[in-house]
């Protein structure tokens, strides 16, 4: 393969590693279903599928190029390649006194042996492309595989070590979107090189804009601004934006791109993530002055580009109802980070959960400057039992790997929220992955409860009679969570509506406060509080009543609560 400065980064890496003799068997994964720029003989850029790109790429130096997937069977770029394939195999069969090839099989059980005959033949330089490889050697327990699947898996493992193949000038390229969907026996082969196909860079997106005919497209963004705004989109998705503008007449603005980007990415990720557009910031958060001060310092570091001052990850820990989610979204509004929230990425099929996680992390990598929120982390990332087939451990291992990549610092902040941090893997929570662990507690002082009540009223735009004060409500709501304080204000609003008033009166507030019953599960709430104390990363974040506790004190209290709670604490 000759050098080519116009190749995408992944294709240039493949070329270099092949030319250096490092490997002859490659597995491409990642953004493989996108369009890829190809410079034709006239110097014009075309955007091709990965099949057409690789056929052109290999065709420069290969005598025979063959493409295969389980749906279409064996395919060739043109009749000349088809004839060369037939001629090569027939010559070999003649020497071995076997019948000439008459029919090209479709199923792997017939096609893979033919491809093996081709790549072990040193008479010509051949290139083989196996697309949708996860359908040929799928991840899963070997004991559940059929005979054809096992045969295909053995063939792939044999190719990786067969001197008859490795000693030729032949090359095999496997293509799968997610590594987790490919049999681990193949991926783990020392002779296989995996190459990640990334989302298009800002320069590649800008190049696409410059090469498009935009005569009928109403662009209100400069090419540079468009390229910057569309991070995380594929080239195919960008071209669909141009077509939509050309056919529908809609102008391409920052707002329209952001809305379309949100819809496209959520659809591409099949509901795995949700874009969160925060409609509030810390001015809407009552109380929690210490928490807000710490997070404001992080938000300022993000805005100013001081990456070393931004934590790799953060954990919000504390009982339910203490405002963790609301504060997380307020932080997204303050920092300016694109806010994504994990949805349910777990599935029951083997490899699907890991594949979903890979899709999310690839998207986050492409977007950059992202706050990735994982709520109720103890449920989605807890160490699974024996019945999950090791899925939980693989998910946690992949997250650990992602979070340990220091190139993400200042660009990607993972924020986990949980009231049961004891169910999370201990190594996952260590500094370097989660540098900031912030505890959340019920409001401690009367003035803090008053600020929360006022913030709730302001956020919901409630009107009050003149002279309404919070004194009785603050007194009656000692020990209430932030969520329970909000419930009191909403109950007062309902009382006012029932008597036909447009404003909330003093009696409405007092009656709502006296009538509301907070959670009676006090031991579980205390257990969650002590877990928050245990996880906290700085003494300044703790209320006075916890600040002087030693580690032994915390352990003793947790052990006592576990005895009281029994199985509920497991």
Residue 3 pLDDT greater than 50, yes or no: no
- Phi/psi for 66 (5° steps) reads -125, 135
Q: Are 172 and 116 in contact (CB under 8 A)?
A: no
One domain, residues 158 and 282: no
Q: Quick: pLDDT tens for 297-307.
A: 999 998 888 98
CA neighbor of 295 nearest in space, from 264, 261, 323, 266: 323
Per-residue pLDDT averaged across 42-59, rounded? 92
User: CA–CA distance from 468 to each of 465, 471, 473, 507 (Å)?
Assistant: 6, 9, 11, 9
In 94-133, the DSSP E strands lie at 126-130
Q: Given this model, what pLDDT does residue 504 score? A: 93
One domain, residues 211 and 90: no
- The set of residues, in sequence order, having a beta carbon less than 8 Å from that of 512 and lying 6+ positions away, is 473, 488, 489, 491, 492, 495
Place of tokens 């190029």: 65
Helix 352-367 × helix 391-403 angle, to 10°: 10
pTM for the structure as a whole: 0.74
One domain, residues 345 and 387: yes
Specify if 477 maps to a domain.
yes
Per-residue pLDDT averaged across 349-353, rounded? 67
- Comparing 224-228, 365-369, 384-388, 548-552, the range with the smallest average pLDDT is 384-388
- The set of residues, in sequence order, having a beta carbon less than 8 Å from that of 133 and lying 6+ positions away, is 27, 174, 175, 176, 182
Q: In CATH, what number is assigned to the domain containing residue 451? A: 1.10.8.60
For a pLDDT cut of 70, what percent of the chain falls above it? 96
Q: Quick: pLDDT tens for 413-441.
A: 999 999 999 998 888 888 888 999 999 99
One domain, residues 404 and 521: no
Q: Given this model, what pLDDT does residue 398 score? A: 86
Residue 185 pLDDT greater than 80, yes or no: yes
Query: Which pairing describes strands 64-69 and 126-130: parallel, antiparallel, or unpaired?
Result: parallel
For a pLDDT cut of 90, what percent of the chain falls above it? 42
Residue 83 pLDDT greater than 90, yes or no: yes
Sheet (strand 192-197) strand order: 73-75, 64-69, 126-130, 171-175, 25-30, 192-197
User: CA–CA distance from 251 to each of 215, 235, 276 (Å)?
Assistant: 13, 19, 24
One domain, residues 187 and 208: no
Q: Given this model, what pLDDT does residue 1 score? A: 42
Q: Given this model, what pLDDT does residue 241 score? A: 87
Q: Are 195 and 28 in contact (CB under 8 A)?
A: yes
Residue 351 pLDDT greater than 70, yes or no: no
Q: Are 374 and 414 in contact (CB under 8 A)?
A: yes
Q: Quick: pLDDT tens for 300-344.
A: 998 888 988 999 999 999 999 898 988 998 998 888 888 888 877
Domain boundary (395, 410, 439) is at: 439
Full domain range(s) for residue 286: 275-439
One domain, residues 72 and 178: yes
One domain, residues 451 and 508: yes
One domain, residues 492 and 526: yes
Q: Quick: pLDDT tens for 514-552.
A: 999 988 888 999 999 999 999 999 999 999 899 999 999
């Amino acid at each position: 393969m000759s050098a080519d400065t116009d190749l995408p980064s992944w294709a240039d890496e493949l070329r270099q590693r092949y030319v250096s003799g490092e490997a002859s068997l490659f597995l491409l994964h990642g953004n493989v279903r996108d369009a890829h720029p190809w410079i034709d003989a006239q110097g014009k850029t075309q955007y091709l599928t990965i099949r057409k790109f690789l056929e052109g790429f290999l065709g420069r130096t290969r005598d025979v190029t063959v493409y295969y997937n389980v749906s279409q069977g064996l395919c060739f770029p043109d009749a000349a390649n088809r004839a060369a394939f037939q001629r090569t195999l027939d010559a070999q069969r003649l020497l071995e006194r076997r019948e000439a090839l008459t029919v090209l099989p479709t199923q792997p059980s017939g096609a893979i042996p033919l491809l093996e005959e081709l790549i072990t033949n040193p008479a010509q330089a051949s290139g083989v492309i196996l697309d949708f490889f996860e359908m040929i050697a799928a991840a899963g327990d070997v004991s559940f595989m059929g005979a054809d699947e096992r045969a295909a898996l053995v063939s792939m493992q044999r190719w990786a070590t067969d001197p008859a193949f490795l000693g030729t000038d032949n090359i095999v390229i496997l293509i799968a979107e997610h590594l987790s969907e490919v049999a681990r026996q193949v991926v783990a082969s020392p002779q296989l090189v995996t190459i990640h196909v990334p989302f298009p860079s800002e320069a590649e997106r800008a190049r696409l804009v410059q090469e498009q005919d935009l005569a009928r497209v109403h662009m209100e963004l400069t090419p540079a601004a468009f390229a910057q705004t569309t991070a995380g989109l594929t080239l195919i998705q960008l071209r669909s934006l141009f077509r939509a503008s050309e056919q529908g007449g809609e102008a391409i603005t920052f707002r329209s791109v952001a809305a379309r980007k949100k819809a496209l990415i959520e659809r591409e990720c099949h509901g795995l993530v949700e874009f969160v557009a925060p409609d509030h910031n810390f001015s809407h958060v009552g109380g929690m002055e210490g928490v807000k001060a710490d997070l404001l310092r992080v938000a300022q570091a993000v805005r100013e580009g001081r990456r070393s001052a931004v934590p790799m990850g953060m954990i919000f820990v504390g009982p339910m109802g203490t405002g963790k989610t609301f504060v997380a979204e307020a932080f997204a509004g303050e920092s300016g980070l694109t806010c994504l929230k994990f949805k349910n990425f777990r599935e029951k099929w083997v490899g699907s959960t890991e594949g979903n996680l890979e899709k999310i992390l690839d998207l986050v990598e492409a977007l950059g400057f992202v706050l990735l929120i994982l709520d109720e982390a103890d449920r989605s990332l807890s160490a699974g039992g024996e019945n999950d087939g090791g899925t939980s451990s693989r998910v946690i291992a992949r997250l650990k790997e992602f979070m340990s990549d220091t190139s993400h610092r200042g660009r990607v902040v993972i924020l986990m929220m949980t009231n049961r941090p004891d169910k999370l893997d201990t190594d996952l929570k260590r500094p370097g992955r989660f540098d900031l662990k912030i505890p959340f507690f019920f409001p401690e002082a009367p003035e803090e409860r008053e600020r929360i009540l006022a913030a709730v009223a302001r956020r919901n735009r409630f009107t009050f009679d003149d002279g309404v004060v919070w004194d009785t409500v603050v007194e009656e709501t000692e020990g209430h969570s932030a969520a329970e304080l909000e419930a009191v204000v909403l109950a007062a609003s309902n009382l006012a509506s029932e008597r036909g008033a447009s404003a909330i009166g003093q009696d409405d507030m007092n009656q709502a406060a006296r009538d509301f019953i907070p959670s009676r599960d006090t031991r579980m709430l205390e257990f969650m509080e002590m877990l928050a104390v245990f996880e906290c990363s700085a003494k300044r974040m703790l209320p006075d009543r916890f600040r002087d506790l030693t580690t032994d004190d915390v352990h003793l209290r947790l052990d006592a609560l576990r005895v009281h709670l029994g199985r509920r604490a497991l």
